[in-house]
Amino acid sequence: MNTSIAVLSAQDCPVLPPAIAALIARWDASRSAADLIAAIQEQPEQQFADATPINAAKTVKKRGKCMTRRAGQNGSKEYVEGGWYKVRIWVDVPGQEKREHRSIKICPIEGPGALKTSSLRRARKRELIAAYTGKNKEVVESVGNITYREQAEIMMEQMRTRCRKPVAKGTLEGYDRTIHQHHNPILGDMPISQIYSPELNLVVRSLREKGMGPGSMARSITIAKAVVLSAVNKRTGEALYPRVWNANIIDLPVEDSEEMNTPNFSREILTGIIAYYSDDPLWRTMFTALGATGPRISEMLGVEIDKHLSPDFRTISIEQQADGPNISNRLKTPASRRQIDVHSDVAAVIQAFAGDRKSGFLFQTSDGTPFRPQFVRGKLHLALQAIGFVNEHTGTHFAGCHAFRRSRDTYLRNETNCPQGLYKFWLGHALGKDMSERYDKVKRDRKLRLEWAETCGYGFDLPSAVPVVPEPDEGKEAA
């Protein structure tokens, strides 16, 4: 009996070899199925090599992580261990198919960050579970259990090694000191994921009790915020714990510029400091140069005779800064790289102090290294105490070397006719957005700058005696 078959198209037979599919497509429907089978069998065997039996084409279900088929978890019952309330939950681990059963800190039993009621702890437990295993989310890196202390170390290491916008050594030391002295005693053992505005308020209270000023407190809290936001997803680079900080809850005091500790030296104080060291050529020259030129102390300590002083000692080039033996050509701002022109009287003082030396740092210890800023500040405090200086902000005689810089700025702005572009250039202040300031090329005209340096003067009185070149054993830094 002849059995007719429907003509199949090649599209209806996706698992057949092309030759067989073409044969079926051309087959006359009036012919028997037996003839079709015989025709297929006559085809060369290799044409069947890639054929896949239709019944064998079964879909294999993919195994592994599938967040959508998870019903969620509630975690274990909270328990106490090592001074913490904890919970055990299943945690996704990057690069690993199976989840791990881990112990996660909820909150400390006592002290900062403690949650006194079970309802608050249950809410916190739900947040932790959502952070680790929430549906429709990518696998979260296991940093939710990392403490503030550990995350701060990670951030500091990143700052030390990064290529984009390298951080100065002094800045790193300041961050490290702030974290260890003021943050870790309060936040150190808290999970980084648990730190919000109320926890920063605890830091503010502690800093206020220590007598820290508003500006210093603001800088400290800025560092704490940076530590929290430095926890990122390594694959996406997004912050794992973004925050909208509440200023009212953090409760930082508002900084009043009039109340800031920014001492300034008058003409009489500058004259008194220099007169106090009239018999000591090293410190007499140091404080004369600081008062007459206004650089940052680290910039002045980085000045080398053969590299940064002009042959006539009338111009000082600021190209590096120093902190003891640590020399860096990275200055605070791009505008800090500049030349400072000095009055001929001050140039004579510096030249007499340098004497026959042709190289080395202008102000150096007997070992040939620059002084540390702290040591210079100690010498300044001795003179300020002896001449009766009183810091109007603190009521003490203490003031930093930056007071010389403020004094120079105040003098040039208010007691001379120095062009604004010129004294900004001398002090290393960035120019504004006004195009006329950008067009001002006074920094290229040294002759004009020297004329203004002579006209403006230095704003204090110099002792009449010329300083004597120090002996080789002078200038040794105290231990």
- Residues 339-355 have pLDDT tens digits of 999 999 999 999 999 99
What number is the average pLDDT over the span 382-395? 93
Which pLDDT score is estimated for 68? Answer: 46
Indicate left, alpha or beta for 368 from its phi (over 0: left) and psi (-120 to 50: alpha): left
- pLDDT (average), residues 148-174: 89
Q: Where do the domains of the chain lie?
A: 10-55, 74-133, 148-257, 267-456
pLDDT at 472: 43
Domain 267-456 coded CATH 1.20.1050.10: no
The pLDDT, as a whole number, for residue 455 is 96
- CA dist list (Å): 455 to 395, 412, 419, 429, 449: 36, 11, 12, 21, 10
Higher pLDDT pick, 213 / 16? 213
Q: CA-to-CA distance for 59 and 56, rounded, in angstroms? A: 9
Beta partners for residue 86, in sequence order: 79, 105
Neighbours of 143 (CB within 10 A): 19
The whole-number pLDDT of residue 13 equals 47
Instruction: Name the band, by pLDDT with cuts 50, 70 and 90, for residue 436.
Output: low
Q: What is the CA radius of gyration of the chain?
A: 38
- Does residue 410 contact residue 427 with C-beta atoms inside 8 Å? no
Q: Tokens 């006329």: give the residue.
A: 436
Q: Which position has the higher pLDDT, 143 or 268?
A: 268
DSSP per residue, 377-404: HHHHHHHHHHHT---TTTSSS---THHH
Average pLDDT over residues 162-191: 90
pLDDT at residue 235, as a whole number? 84
Residue 99 has pLDDT above 90, yes or no: no
195: Cβ–Cβ under 8 A, 6 or more apart, which residues?
A: 148, 187, 224, 228, 241
**For position 95, what pLDDT does the model report?**
62
Q: What is the pLDDT of residue 202?
A: 92
Higher-confidence residue: 435 or 247? 247
| pLDDT for 478 | 44
Flag the least confident range among 16-30, 42-56, 427-441.
42-56
Confidence (pLDDT) at 169: 80
**Bridge-based pairing state of the strands 100-108 and 79-81:** unpaired
Q: CA-CA distance, 402 to 47, in Å (whole number)? A: 89
Contact 36, 27 (CB under 8 A): yes
Rounded CA-CA distance 56/282 in Å is 94
State the pLDDT at residue 93.
Answer: 65
Per-residue model confidence as pLDDT tens digits over 448-476: 999 999 999 999 999 864 444 444 444 44
pLDDT, tens only, 296-336: 999 999 999 999 999 999 999 999 999 888 898 888 888 99
d(CA 199, CA 193) in angstroms, rounded, equals 11
pLDDT in tens, 67-79: 444 546 777 888 8
Dig out the tokens for 463 from the structure: 């002792």
Take residue 346 and report the two structure tokens written for it: 């001050």
E strands present in 255-414:
315-318, 321-323, 326-328, 338-341
In the three-class reduction of DSSP (H, G, I as helix; E, B as strand; rest coil), residue 147 is classed as strand
d(CA 275, CA 287): 10
Distance CA 250, CA 198 (A): 6
Residue-level pLDDT at 122: 84
pLDDT-based confidence at residue 60 (cuts at 50, 70, 90) = low
Give the mean pLDDT of 180-207.
91
- What type of residue sits at position 83? G
pLDDT recorded at residue 337: 94
**CB-side neighbour CA atoms (13 Å) of 360:** 16
* Whole-number percent of the chain with pLDDT over 70: 80
Looking at CATH, the fold of the domain delimited by 148-257 is given as DNA polymerase; domain 1 (1.10.150)
**What pLDDT, on a 0 to 100 scale, did the predictor assign at position 475?**
46
Q: Determine the pLDDT at residue 119.
A: 82
**250: which 2 tokens?**
């953090």
The reported pLDDT for the residue numbered 125 is: 80
C-alpha 59 chain-centroid distance: 52
Dihedral (C-alpha) 145, 150, 154, 156: value to the nearest 10 degrees? 150
In this predicted model, what pLDDT tens digit does every residue of 124-135 receive, in sequence order? Answer: 787 777 766 654
pLDDT of residue 415: 95
For the chain, the average pLDDT equals 82
